[in-house]
Amino acid sequence: MTEHPPVVVHPPSPAGGRRVTVDAQILGLAYGPRDVVEFLRRAGLDEDAINLDDPLLIEWRGGGPDVWPPPEE
């Protein structure tokens, strides 16, 4: 059985945000990396220990931490 990171940042939505889940529980809609860090901090992770590039912690779908397209108008 393959282990998956507990945090998933889903592909960008047409509104421009990306859904963030931890163990399939929705934490919110992030509009940038700072939002992801804040959601994880609120979920109990130490903010100083959060590394957005850590593949053991976060699975990025539809692009990595640098992919934040603007909302469609």
Instruction: Collect all residues with Cβ–Cβ distance below 8 Å to 73 and sequence separation of at least 6.
Output: none
Q: Which of 11, 12, 29, 31 is nearest to 20 (CA)?
A: 29
In this predicted structure, the answer to whether residue 1 has a pLDDT above a threshold of 50 is no
Quote the pTM value: 0.88
pLDDT tens digit sequence for 17-51: 999 999 989 999 999 999 999 999 999 999 999 99
Structural domain spans, the chain: 7-60
Residue with tokens 């992030």, as numbered in its chain: 30
| CA separation for the pair 10, 32 (Å, rounded) | 12
Residue 5's pLDDT is 77
Mean pLDDT of 50-64: 95
